[in-house]
Amino acid sequence: MAGLRFLQRLRQMQRDPERRLAPSPEEVLNSVTDYVSKILNTRKGSTVIDEDFGIPDFTSAGLAFSQEDMPRVEAEIAAFIERCEPRLKNVEVHFTPDTGTPLQMVFSLTGELRFGGNEIFPVHLVTRVDPLGKVTVSK
């Protein structure tokens, strides 16, 4: 169960004390997706333990979200994910406008999921930021 976060491992052991098998890649990917969603919904400065934990509020940072601003936003999001989610490596984030939902910002997140020591699985997640700043992450 080493691919799951600590509290997820404890919950899993509580639900099924006999299970001692390693989690499947799908279980680990679900765990990563869930955690990335949680960390991307945390604003910088909102946690007491680490004032640098969280994503800056880009809307109040004076960004116009122009073509010039996007590389900075993409780089900050990718760096934060790599810092806080060690199961993902080589994270890249790219703004991918969706004409069907013009009021949402859509980012494509790619990276590598380290699994079982030396296995590597490619990961592609879609991150949507609604007009109120809520982030949803999907596979």
Structure tokens at 55: 């994503």
In sequence order, the β-bridge partners of residue 135 are 129
Count of domains for the chain? 1
19 domain residue, yes or no? no
5 domain residue, yes or no? no
Give pLDDT tens digits for 10-67.
Answer: 676 667 766 666 677 888 898 899 999 999 998 888 888 888 888 877 655 444 566 7
60 domain residue, yes or no? yes
Higher pLDDT, 112 or 101: 112
pLDDT of residue 78: 95
- Alpha-carbon distance 121 to 116, whole Å? 11
Which domain range does residue 90 map to? 27-138
21 domain residue, yes or no? no
118 domain residue, yes or no? yes
- In the chain, % of residues over pLDDT 90: 34
2 domain residue, yes or no? no
115 domain residue, yes or no? yes
114 domain residue, yes or no? yes
Structure tokens at 8: 């997820």
Average pLDDT over the chain, rounded to an integer? 82
CATH code of the domain containing 123: 3.10.450.40
Tell whether the model's pLDDT for residue 88 goes beyond 90: yes
- Alpha-carbon distance 46 to 62, whole Å? 19
pLDDT of residue 107: 93
